[in-house]
C-alpha cells in the first residue's frame, strides 16, 4: 500500500512537519515521490517510522538514530559488530527502565506511608 503524508501522520501520531523534518535529517532515505513531487510512503516506510518513534521514546537523539540506521545499512562491518551495537543500545534502555522502576518504588513507598497514616491517625501535614 501507498500512503500520503497525512495518512502516515494519522497512523503514527507524528505531525506532517515532523515527518518532513525526519526525511530532511536523513532518517528516511528511501522515501519516494510522485511526479508531482508529493511524497508517498510504503509499508516499509511506516515500519521504519515506527522504529524511529520507538528509539526516540527510548531517549535516542535523531543523530543517534541516524547513526543506528547508517550502521544497519552499511555492509563494511561484521555482523558481530552490528550485534554488539544493538546490545549496547539495549543495555542503555535497560538502565533507563531501571531508573523508572526505582521511581515507582519510591512512589509506592510514599503511598504505603500515606495509607498507614490514614488508617491510624488523622493529622494531615508531613512528607
Partner DNA sequence: ATACAACTTCAAGTTAACTTGAAGTCAAGA
Partner DNA sequence: TCTTGACTTCAAGTTAACTTGAAGTTGTAT
Residues contributing to the site for DNA (CB under 7 A): 4-7, 15-18, 20-22, 34-39, 56, 61-63
Residues between 1 and 30 that touch its own copies (CB under 8 A): none
Q: Is 43 in the site for its own copies (CB under 8 A)?
A: no
| Rounded Cα–Cα distance for residues 39 and 5 (Å) | 7
Rg (CA), the chain: 22
Could you say which residues in the range 51-90 bind its own copies, by CB under 8 A?
51, 54-55, 57-59, 68, 72-73, 75, 78-80, 82-83, 86-87, 89-90
Identify the helix (H) or strand (E) that includes residue 67.
helix 62-73
CA–CA distances in Å: residue 4 to residues 29, 67, 77, 104: 16, 27, 35, 40
Tell me which of DNA, its own copies, none is bound by residue 17, counting a contact when its beta carbon lies within the kind-specific cut-off of 5 to 8 angstroms: DNA
Number of residues that bind its own copies (CB under 8 A): 43
Q: Cβ 64 to its own copies, closest distance in Å? A: 10
The DSSP letter of residue 27 is S
What would the DSSP string read from start to end of 102-114?
A: HHHHHHHHHHHHH
Contact between 94 and its own copies per CB under 8 A? yes
C-alpha–C-alpha distance, residues 34 and 41, integer Å: 10
Residues that bind its own copies (CB under 8 A): 51, 54-55, 57-59, 68, 72-73, 75, 78-80, 82-83, 86-87, 89-90, 93-97, 99-104, 106-108, 110-111, 114-115, 117-118, 124-127
Amino acid at each position: 500500500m501507498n500512503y500520503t503524508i497525512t495518512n502516515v501522520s494519522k497512523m503514527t501520531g507524528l505531525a506532517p512537519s515532523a515527518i518532513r523534518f525526519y526525511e530532511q535529517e536523513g532518517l528516511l532515505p528511501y522515501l519516494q515521490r510522485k511526479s508531482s513531487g508529493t511524497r508517498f510512503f510504503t509499508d516499509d516506510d511506516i515500519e521504519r517510522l515506527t522504529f524511529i518513534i520507538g528509539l526516540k521514546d527510548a531517549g535516542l537523539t535523531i543523530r543517534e538514530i541516524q547513526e543506528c540506521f547508517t550502521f544497519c545499512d552499511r555492509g563494511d562491518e561484521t555482523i558481530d559488530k552490528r550485534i554488539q551495537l544493538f546490545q549496547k543500545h539495549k543495555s542503555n534502555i535497560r538502565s533507563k527502565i531501571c531508573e523508572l522502576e526505582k521511581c515507582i518504588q519510591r512512589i509506592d513507598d510514599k503511598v504505603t506511608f500515606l495509607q498507614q497514616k490514614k488508617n491510624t491517625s488523622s493529622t494531615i501535614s508531613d512528607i
